[in-house]
Structure 1
């Protein structure tokens, strides 16, 4: 049976998870960066800068800046599409997958405290 939360409980869970994530991991992602990372890892590839910009309704430079940060943190990599050199393909990394796995575990653990 799915866990039903009030708005206050959901925000409390988000707060608790966010605070714990900051304490456990030195990588400080913005909400936009986290949304992009989740899109890359939860939605089947391929992912392009152009496609992510359209999905989030932002400009390509906004995505590029976010990817610069996430790339420096080892969470994603980028390479030119060999079939269409205008496109930049975003690739997953093992470190990025582990980061989100730990975040998912943290959400599950904190969610259990609500029941």
Structure 2
């Protein structure tokens, strides 16, 4: 349960920071669509997003209307199949998600009391690495004396 509370706390911290910014607030559905479009390989269609997220096509269309209005995605007719509408990424959408990612990173920053543990583990790792390097230098075959050749009989 503590792990769940920590995860929810991180999510809350990131969302609160996002809401406090001047940028737009996205619904969970809009954010899910954004993440799907930006974090998975294209092409993306309304039908495909609806199937993947298990929501109706009209719900996807409404979310895309808002995301398009914000300039976060754009829609284009599929040149191969005119019935399909492709959902494409935009620079503005990439910047929005990059900024949001920074909020998530900041929310998950290591607490000061946890840093002592991290530093101690790093010191132990550095000491172990130094010992290993010393042992390897001593045991290198090229550093070992070459036995003298036995005299021929």
Per the normalisation by structure 2, the TM-score is 0.70
Greater RCO between the two (CA within 8 Å, min separation 6)?
Answer: 1
Give the structure with the higher percent helix: 2
- What value does the CA root-mean-square deviation take over the aligned residues? 1.2
Structure 1 residue 106 displacement after superposition: 1.1
SS at match of 2:75: strand
- 1:110 alignment partner, one of 104, 107, 110: 107
1:73-106, Cα deviation, whole Å (9 max, x unpaired):
1100001101001100001000000000011111
Measured in 2, the distance between the counterparts of 1:7 and 1:25 equals 29
- 8 Å contact 2:77–2:84 — kept in the other structure? yes
For structure 1, list consecutive stretches of 5 or more residues without a partner in the other structure.
none
1:88: which partner in 2? 85
Aligned residues, how many? 111
- 2:10 alignment partner, one of 1, 13, 16: 13
Measured in 2, the distance between the counterparts of 1:74 and 1:112 equals 30
Structure 1 residue 113 displacement after superposition: 4.1
SS at match of 1:17: helix
Q: Which piece of structure 1 moves more, 61-70 or 20-29?
A: 20-29
